[in-house]
Amino acid sequence: MKKVLFFFITAILLCITSALKAQNTTIQIGAGNDTIENLPTNTFNTNSLSQQIYTATEIGQSGTIYSIAFYNISPNVTRNMDLYLAHTNKTAFSSDNDWSAVATGDLVFSGYVTFVQNQWSIVEFTTPFAYNGTDNLLVVVDDNSEGWVADRHFLVFNATGQAIFDNSDDTNYDPTNPSGYEGTVSNVKNQIQLNFAPSPCPAPTSLTVSNIEPTSVTLSWTENGSATAWDICLNGNENNIITVYTNPYVLTNLTPGMPYSVSVRANCGDGVSVWAMENFLTSTCSSPSNLYASNISQTSVTLNWIENGSATAWDIRLNDNEDSIITIYTNPYVLTGLTPNTQYNVSVRANCGDSNNVSYWTDAIFTTVSDYQIQSTANWYGYAINSFLDNGEYAHNDWEKEFISFSMQNLASVTAITDMNLSSPYTYSATYVNGSVWCITCQEGHLCRASIHNNSHTISDFEIVFPYFDEGSKIESMSYNPVDGRFYYIFNGRYLKSFHPDQPENVIEVGLIGFDAKTLAINNIGEAYIIQNTTGDLYQLNLNDASVTLIGSTGLPAQHVQSMTFDQNTGELFWAQYYSRFSSHGLYLVDPATAETQFLGRINGDGCQLACFFMVDTSHHDGVQILPENSIVLYPNPAKEIVNVEYTMYKHMDNETVEVIDVYGKVVRTAVETNNHLPLQTAQINVSNLSDGLYFVRVTTSTGQITKPFIKQ
């Protein structure tokens, strides 16, 4: 009975001991003062590989392991290593080549580890390890430091056959396939500490050194906790630690061409993490700046930059492809052999003599001109602000504001067409309607109109149609809807409003768009489109209530959306985006069905800010005015076979045409006149063979034009 009671009490004590152990967050395995220079790494060689087995009994619990620590009794040493943990049923290594292969998924840490003298050096895992508490634990250290220092000694304890190691200056070990290595089985293994709780102040990871200049570098890292302050230490000098509050951080006052070791740790206020470390070599070669692309064509571009040192050679790289690097000796440089309508990321660095003496890369993005053959034959006009000279600088210190004309055949050639008493009214909202340019001035808010003479590319004097119109400075864009004969405009970036040109004082607020939109274009069937100013997404806009439907992303940055316009005859949508000398913005063709864009080129060569953009059908005569809406009558509407057209001809009107056009502006029928007596004209159009849908009758005379819709059933 006493014997049974003894075993019962012993079992209870073991359970209590086990339970207490399971509550521990840090488990230390091993004790004593014995050391070895081969485990976990041999620092005397460039490369080393070690594997050690720790039994489930030694660990005594299951759970997630967040870090491991080794004890170094020698001077500080930093090594670049990969550390793997894996479950194993192996209890010992039977021979010098009895390695266990690990999988890439077993990698828990990769980077630099500093083993500090006479203390536990913690390796915090990038990927914590879920230990099952039943299998033994395999700890694998693969050291690839590409350099050696005198042997460092680590604390160990007796463990027969539970460790194996190998080291070499020539072999770069592969832990996932170690079967061919001839190692050494050891009868000792490292004393270790396993931490089963996440650190209250976890270490940063992915420490990166970039933008390496002669006297400065940029440090960046991944913060794995909630720290907002970090300590930085150079070359292990803990007497010169600085605390910073930004990530990334630019480290300055360095010496050109010098090797450095930099360490970063999280500073959590009531504690600090272990160090993350990286090595770098400062450059003796300053990087270029202000890289920008100009003279962009379908297959070539001119690259320009500022040389900040004395380099006379530079490397150029496309799309981060190291195989594409070429060395050139001129600035600017014409890059050829490009693909039309393709976005490129181009990088330039100074080359100061050899591959080890180069600056960091300076980047820019540009898109080559599309080889798309546009259908538009219209003459193109716009209101330009801040026109640029060929060197990429502003033409004047003050803003240059003028109406211009240009053509798709030569976007770089811009003609000033300003000839008006109002001295180029400052506007973001000029648009064209059948012979007239309408705009709302920014400062005064005047609604103005002038005749545009298409053949001579001039604009007549502007007249003020309405003296004060809303707040002109907040009117972003304006477009005409030919279906209902009204102007629609965006006010303050978010509100859609409209008015009839005959009654500009009666403004209707259609509704709230709901986001910042600074451009508006309406096609010939009354479909409206806008682009969100921050995302570059294209939306269809409902002109009845200002609701929007997302079409898709244009794939372009849109900090300054600027202006869009439809060619009413071809249905093509064009977008003139804001341009700066550090970007590739310019003229784009936009697919209103998908939001896909094609880059067509830069207006004015090196660009200009085209605040508003409109097109004039080349078939229009000079000074064509809008005919009265009541001058045309269609019946029946809807129509199945015949559409009758009655329209009024006034004195001095001749050369009229009556046409049916589809929603894309294509002429599908021409009318047959049945009555040719002034003032009433009558024509019949056979539409029986047309597909069902929406069409328009367009009547054009020498003094005017009007379009009205009808439905074919």
Residue 185 has pLDDT above 90, yes or no: yes
Q: What is the pLDDT confidence band of residue 679, given thresholds at 50, 70 and 90?
A: low
Closest C-alpha among 150, 163, 171 to residue 47 = 171
Q: Are residues 452 and 545 in the same domain?
A: yes
Residue type, 251: L
**And the tokens for 269?**
């206020």
- Both 522 and 474 in one domain: the answer is yes
- 11 belongs to a structural domain: no
Q: Residue 664 above 90 pLDDT?
A: no
Query: What whole-number distance in Å separates Cα of residue 459 and Cα of residue 709?
Result: 30
Higher pLDDT, 667 or 544: 544
Of 21-30, 394-403, 405-414, the poorest mean pLDDT is in 394-403
Whether residues 542 and 676 fall in one domain? no
Percent of the chain predicted with pLDDT > 70: 84
pLDDT of residue 423: 59
Mean pLDDT of the chain: 83
Domain shared by 251 and 234, yes or no: yes
Comparison of pLDDT for 8 and 425, the residue scoring more: 425
CATH at residue 89: 2.60.120
pLDDT at residue 107, as a whole number? 96
End-to-end alpha-carbon separation of the chain, Å? 105
Provide the domain count of the chain.
Answer: 5
Q: How confident is the model at residue 340 (pLDDT cuts 50, 70, 90)?
A: confident
Q: Could you give the CA distance from residue 710 to residue 661 in angstroms, rounded to a whole number?
A: 10
Q: Which has more confidence, 360 or 186?
A: 186
CATH code (residue 700): 2.60.40.3080
Q: Which of 195, 218, 246 is the last residue of a domain?
A: 195
Q: Are residue 74 and residue 151 in the same domain, yes or no?
A: yes
> Which residues fall within 8 angstroms of residue 547, CB to CB, at 6 or more apart?
511, 541
User: Do residues 430 and 482 share a domain?
Assistant: yes
Residue 17 has pLDDT above 60, yes or no: no
Q: CB neighbours of 323 closer than 8 A, spacing ≥ 6? A: none
Residue 29 falls inside a structural domain: yes
Backbone angles phi, psi at 353, to 5 degrees: 145, -40
Lookup: tokens for 298 = 């379908």
Top-confidence residue, 5 or 160: 160
Residue 643 identity (one-letter amino acid): V
Residue that is last in its domain, among 143, 167, 195: 195
Does 178 lie in the same domain as 73?
yes
- Mark which of 195, 225, 246 sits at the end of a domain: 195
* pTM score above 0.95: no
Structural domain includes residue 15: no
3-state SS of 364-407? Answer: EEEECCCCCCCCCCCEEEEEEECCECCCCCECCCCCCEEEEEEE
Q: What is the model's pLDDT at position 455?
A: 55
Residues 138 and 267 in one domain: no
Q: Are residues 94 and 137 in the same domain?
A: yes
Residues 269-309: tens digit of each pLDDT: 888 888 888 889 898 899 998 888 877 778 888 898 999 98
Same domain, 576 and 700: no
469 & 602 share domain: yes
pLDDT digits (tens, 9 = 90+) for 375-394: 777 778 888 776 544 444 44
DSSP element (H, E) containing 155: strand 154-168
Closest CA to 495 of 540, 541, 526: 541
Q: For residue 10, what pLDDT is reported?
A: 40
pLDDT digits (tens, 9 = 90+) for 562-585: 789 998 777 889 988 764 544 445
| pLDDT surpassing 50 at residue 54 | yes
Is residue 5 in some structural domain?
no
Q: What CATH number does the domain containing 332 carry?
A: 2.60.40.10
Comparing 20-29, 567-576, 595-604, the range with the smallest average pLDDT is 20-29
- Band of pLDDT at residue 400, cut at 50, 70 and 90: low
Reduce the secondary structure of 438-459 to three states and give it as a string: EEEECCCCCEEEEEEECCCCEE
Same domain, 132 and 106: yes
pLDDT digits over 108-135, tens only?
A: 999 889 899 999 999 999 899 999 999 9
Residue 502 lies in a domain: yes
Which band of pLDDT confidence, cut at 50, 70 and 90, is reported for residue 558?
A: low
User: Does 14 map to a domain?
Assistant: no
**Average pLDDT of span 298-321:** 91
442 or 131, greater pLDDT: 131
Q: Is residue 174 part of a domain?
A: yes
Residue 401 lies in a domain: yes
DSSP string, 596-611: -EEEEE-TTSS--EEE
Q: Decide which of 636 and 601 is more confident.
A: 636
Instruction: Report, as an integer, the average pLDDT of 614-638.
Output: 64
Q: Which of 12-16, 196-200, 228-232 has the lowest mean pLDDT?
A: 12-16
Mention every residue, 6+ apart, whose C-beta is less than 8 A from residue 599. Answer: 296, 341, 343, 367, 368, 369, 370, 584, 586, 587, 588
Residue numbers of the domain that contains 528: 379-616
Q: Looking at residue 697, what is its pLDDT?
A: 85
